[in-house]
Amino acid sequence: MSINTEVGMGQNVIEHPKRSQAEWKKIADSPDFKTLINAKGKFLIPTIIFSFVYYFALPILAGYAPGLMKTKIVGAINFGYLFALSQFFVAWIIAGLYSSVSNNTFDPLAEKIKQQQGGKGR
């Protein structure tokens, strides 16, 4: 790989050994690539926001709503324990959803883009 150090402002561009910048620009400007990026954004941005809100809800609720967190659900198990445990399940569900969306949406689009470019991979 070659590094072009003449970009300016201290930025370096690593050029792919099999593609020129013009080829990468053509890919980036293609409707399918834009569709892929939009599809990823529509899934990832809300998912990331939900994940952060859900994750930070535990310490926030523990600090500002201790009565709620101490509410007994079953025996000695309270809402706080169940909420903390639920974070593992929510993470697994999100991972499964991402895998499903990736396999059914992102990967076929990426494969289509790859085939349009003559099947050249990384």
**Residue 22 lies inside a defined structural domain of this protein:** no
Alpha carbon distance 30, 47 (integer Å): 26
**Residue 74 lies inside a defined structural domain of this protein:** yes
C-alpha count within 13 angstroms, C-beta hemisphere, residue 93: 9
**Residue 112 lies inside a defined structural domain of this protein:** yes
**Residue 47 lies inside a defined structural domain of this protein:** yes
Alpha carbon distance 84, 109 (integer Å): 37
| The total number of structural domains that make up the chain | 1
List the beta strands (DSSP E) in 1-122: 2-4, 13-15, 72-74, 77-78
Q: pLDDT tens digit string along 17-64?
A: 577 888 889 889 999 999 999 999 999 999 999 999 999 999 999 999
Query: Structural domain of residue 85, as residue ranges?
Result: 31-116
**Residue 93 lies inside a defined structural domain of this protein:** yes
Alpha carbon distance 65, 57 (integer Å): 10
**Residue 18 lies inside a defined structural domain of this protein:** no
Terminal Cα-to-Cα distance of the chain (whole angstroms): 12
**Residue 14 lies inside a defined structural domain of this protein:** no
Q: pLDDT tens digit string along 58-93?
A: 999 999 999 999 999 999 999 999 999 999 999 999
**Residue 10 lies inside a defined structural domain of this protein:** no
